[in-house]
Structure 1
């Protein structure tokens, strides 16, 4: 597994003005060939394991890719996990949807897939 460490190792990402999303006290991990990036406004996008920006930041929040898709949202807010003393958080939204590895919205009809 490749782990994103610093911007200087990712010229196309940092040149575009983005940074790796911070997760678990470090930069995001590559999952399914993609990792999350963030812009100056906190929007989430995705870059490849080769540091090429494929989906410019445009989502309020997005989960890592798995099996060729990622769960994302355009709205919501961050909440703290009760009892974590501010260490753990999660994103709350009523408008989640799935995207493919190129950022196209996927139509999911089976509620189990949500």
Structure 2
């Protein structure tokens, strides 16, 4: 009987640590918009309507209801220009800087999103505001199908904007010259899992996202599909219904640079 109790207690403790945090709606913060001026101003109120984060503190916001964390744009101190995007908690405390994507904050995929440190290295955090993978990659893609591609040899970038610049910064997305994909011979790509473990070494010239258990990679002048063990596979419409043959054809137009 005692053994069963200990086992049950251990199971409950494990579940409480592994499950996402859930808070009652009375603890949420709700977006409020002040339209009385020429430009809109954003703030957040609690469930009783009391303003907790004042209007105009953040020039842009990307979260309508802050349950655990919210995404906001932060200004340079004493200036009107945006220096970057950040995650804040319900106490209006800045947690970390968020990777910029498509003129906004990174997309949350599989419960994770990218963050950056002061050196420009990229890691991952979850929607509880916890850092899951410490920033250590010069470039890493979003997680898809449980894996994310990373770059070895990519240059580090800064994501703190200069005073005159806009908030968007380009990462290491595919670079094009006309209709050709540009591949740098000094860069190689591999894959990590959600624990940050390298599951496929950085041996590919390019590495696309995994979809239905397969990914398109480019190596030694040819494009092909691999499974999650790195084995070359032929996509099957039944097993891989989301696969698009154009993903491989795109690699027919490649230009190498040193």
TM-score (norm: length of structure 2)? 0.34
Alignment partner, residue 98 of structure 1: 191
Q: Is the 8 A contact 1:76 1:91 kept in 2?
A: no
Alignment partner, residue 86 of structure 1: none
Alignment partner, residue 230 of structure 2: 109
TM-score (norm: length of structure 1)? 0.71
Q: Distance in 2 between matches of 1:9 and 1:53?
A: 13
Tell me, yes or no, if structure 1 residue 30 matches structure 2 residue 151.
no
Report matched runs for 1:70-109 at 5 Å. 70-77=148-155, 78=172, 81-82=176-177, 94-107=187-200, 108-109=229-230
CA separation of 1:34/1:91 partners in 2, compared to 1, >3 Å: closer, same or farther?
A: farther
1:49, CA displacement in angstroms? Answer: 2.3
Alignment partner, residue 59 of structure 1: 137
Tell me, yes or no, if structure 1 residue 9 matches structure 2 residue 110.
no
The 10-residue stretch of structure 1 (93-102 or 19-28) with the greater mean CA deviation from structure 2: 93-102
The CA RMSD over aligned residues, in Å, is 3.1
Q: Is the 8 A contact 2:152 2:187 kept in 1?
A: no
Determine which structure has greater relative contact order: mean sequence separation of CA pairs < 8 Å that are 6+ residues apart, divided by chain length: 1
Aligned length: 102
Q: Unpaired segments of 5 or more residues in structure 2?
A: 1-61, 64-69, 73-85, 156-171, 201-228, 234-258
CA separation of 1:28/1:103 partners in 2, compared to 1, >3 Å: closer, same or farther?
A: same
SS at match of 2:108: coil
